[in-house]
Every structure is written in structure tokens, then in C-alpha cells.
């Protein structure tokens, strides 16, 4: 839990600092205290006059997501592992790392929000139909207890090069 406080420091005409802005803006100090350990964090703000503390806290809270993203990019993707001597080299390195980070974030998002896959209609057993009397093998490839065999082999996934189905090694067929 957090406890917040805000102090207006100065009301300034925004057009003096940014020709694209107009109106009265406020320079301020946002103070957040963690109720668990009592530690305070201080943030300077620059916002239109009358902006509510809830909005300031929400915007400032996004800072942690951004910092976490940069830390992950440094640790996992090598954002800080460059020894460039030109702006072009630096720009290429940072652009490729950010592209890789965006791809990983998208993949993670889709993986975490996939609807459960339904088995094909041919795999669903009719309740009135008796179960097979033969032995069944269960495997990690068919976690729902589907029959092993040709119907349970994985098929080509979108984005995989080659359009055909994935074939098991010859040793698995014998």
C-alpha cells in the first residue's frame, strides 16, 4: 500500500517552455510513502494546473514498468553491450534490441492469453459410445489422453518455415 502527498511549487505559462503547449501548468513535488516499510519516494511533476493526484500517481506508477523493461533489455537482450563509435552503430544496436524486446513481449502476451484449444471433433468420444477396450498410451504430446498415433502428431505451426507437417524421426516409426 502507498500513501501519497502533492505539493504545488510553481504555476508557469507552458508556452514559455514549450511552444506546442499553452495554458497554465504546474511544477510540483509528488511524495509517495510505502506503508509497509515507511520508505518515501520523491518525484517532480510538470502537468496542467488542476491535474488530480490520482492521475499523477497513475502516471508515475508507469515509471516502474518502463524501468523494468529497460532492465530486462539490458540483462536478457544485451542493450548495454555495445561498443559503438558512431551514432549509426548505436542506433542500429538499440533498434534491434528494442525490436527483439517487442517481439518477446508480444509472444509472451499471446502465450498468456491463448484460449484453450478444443480437440478436433473426430477426437471427442461420444458419451453413448463405449470406451476402447485396448491399452492406451499417454504422453506429454497428448495430455488429454487422446489416442497416440497419426492424429495426435503435431502439425505445422504458423510462422514455421516449410509448410508441411512435422514428421517424427524414423526411429520413432519402427
Q: From the first residue on, what is the mean pLDDT of each consecutive set of 10 residues in the chain (174 residues)? A: 79 81 87 83 88 88 85 90 86 92 91 76 62 52 46 45 54 54
The helix/strand count (H/E) of the chain reads as 3, 3
Give the pLDDT confidence score for residue 34 in this predicted structure. 78
Specify the pTM: 0.45
Give the pLDDT confidence score for residue 115 in this predicted structure. 73
Q: At what angle do helices 87-112 and 53-77 cross, to 10 degrees?
A: 110
Give the pLDDT confidence score for residue 104 in this predicted structure. 92
Give the pLDDT confidence score for residue 103 in this predicted structure. 94
- The candidate with the shortest Cα–Cα distance to 151, out of 121, 114, 127, is 121
- What is the number of other CB atoms lying within 10 angstroms of the CB of residue 28? 20
Give the pLDDT confidence score for residue 107 in this predicted structure. 92
Amino acid at each position: 500500500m502507498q500513501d501519497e502527498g502533492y505539493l504545488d511549487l510553481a504555476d508557469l505559462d507552458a508556452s514559455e517552455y514549450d511552444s506546442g503547449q499553452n495554458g497554465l501548468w504546474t511544477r510540483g513535488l509528488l511524495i509517495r510513502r510505502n506503508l509497509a516499510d515507511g520508505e518515501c519516494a520523491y518525484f517532480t511533476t510538470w502537468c496542467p494546473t488542476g491535474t488530480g493526484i490520482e492521475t499523477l500517481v497513475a502516471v508515475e506508477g508507469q515509471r516502474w514498468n518502463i524501468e523494468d523493461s529497460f532492465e530486462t533489455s539490458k540483462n536478457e537482450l544485451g542493450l548495454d553491450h555495445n561498443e559503438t563509435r558512431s551514432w549509426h552503430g548505436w542506433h542500429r544496436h538499440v533498434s534491434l534490441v528494442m525490436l527483439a524486446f517487442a517481439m518477446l513481449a508480444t509472444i509472451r502476451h499471446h502465450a498468456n492469453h491463448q484460449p484453450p484449444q478444443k480437440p478436433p471433433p473426430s477426437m471427442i468420444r461420444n458419451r453413448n459410445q463405449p470406451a476402447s477396450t485396448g491399452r492406451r498410451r499417454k504422453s506429454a504430446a497428448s495430455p488429454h489422453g487422446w489416442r497416440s498415433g497419426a492424429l495426435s502428431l503435431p502439425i505445422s505451426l504458423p510462422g514455421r518455415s516449410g509448410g508441411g507437417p512435422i514428421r517424427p524421426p524414423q526411429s520413432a516409426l519402427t
